[in-house]
Amino acid sequence: MATTTVGADRTTRSGLGRRIRAYVALTKPRVLELLLVSTVPVMFLAADGLPNLWLVLATVIGGSLSAGAAAAFNMYLDRDIDAHMQRTENRPIVTGEISPRSALVFAWTLAIVSTAWFLLTTNPLTAFLSAFAIFFYVVIYTMILKRRTEQNIVWGGIAGCFPVLIGWAAVANSLDWAPFILFALVFLWTPPHYWPLSMKYSDQYENVDVPMLGATRSGAQVGLQIILYAWATVVCSLLLIPVAGMGLVYTVSALVFGGWFLYESHRLYTRTVRGEVAGPMRVFHASITYLTLVFVAVAIDPLLPF
């Protein structure tokens, strides 16, 4: 009897663990990490040094809840196409680990809690920006743009730019030119970050009639667009130097890492034009590293005297 009870307890704990992991998967943790990378450094810049650590923690918690809500809404709305794409076929709603209704309740709960959390721990401006970011990602991108235009990720990517405004507003309770330049930086970075992914999975996007650029245009055309946006991204990053009075660390980082990002973008285009194996995921991963390092420099620069 005791052995049976222990076995049942282990089964229950195992089932609970799987369910918790499924709900965590609904929040797209990898995307969430990237969003937080662009939130916290901006708080250092807004504070012109070390911000209040409690405020940083509160903003990270609120940002995680907000981003998780947007991701859960996205999975709920995209469950029909997720089931027919190899890249997304293991998402918890598709596998049946979480029902669509439970996912929707979870998404609404995170959205409400994140907004209330920001109101209690930061200020109304931050709470508004967080709520509007969820609205933009869910309604403008997922419901309107994603299945209708190959420019979906360009304009829909605006939702991913809001963390820089949220981080600044949490500290300053206002907005300035510096966060808007970083907003533009993330906006311009998003297409050359995501289009390589759409190139790799172009057949899957074609199968579900989602007009991602990588599925609707030739590799050379997509590669050229990636180059143009990569150049615009790097130029935009340099605008922060005079506007925010950035020092040596940020300046060198923006130039060096930006040059590397441009090299990888040109490499992809060249290989595509020559008919060689393009390896688009190399640019995808390089773009993540580039953005991370630039924002790390944003955080470090205000702490140094040069």
Q: What residues contact residue 33 under an 8 Å CB cut-off, 6+ apart?
A: none
Spans in the chain with pLDDT lower than 70 = 1-14
Full residue range of the structural domain in which residue 93 is found = 18-174
pLDDT at 29: 86
Residues 27 and 159 in one domain: yes
Residue at which a domain ends, from 109, 143, 174: 174
DSSP output for 284-300:
HHHHHHHHHHHHHHHHH
**Residue 3: exposure state from Cβ atoms within 10 A (0-12, 13-18, ≥19):** exposed
pLDDT at 171: 97
User: For residue range 2-19, what is the model confidence (pLDDT) as tens digits?
Assistant: 555 545 455 556 678 888
Residues 169 and 213 in one domain: no
- The predicted model scores a pTM of 0.90
256 lies in a domain? yes
Indicate which CATH number applies to the domain containing 96: 1.10.357.140
Residue at which a domain ends, from 119, 147, 174: 174
Residues 269 and 215 in one domain: yes
pLDDT at 148: 86
283 lies in a domain? yes
Q: How far apart are CA 106 and CA 36, in angstroms?
A: 21
Residues 91 and 195 in one domain: no
Q: How far apart are CA 174 and CA 155, in angstroms?
A: 24
pLDDT at 8: 47
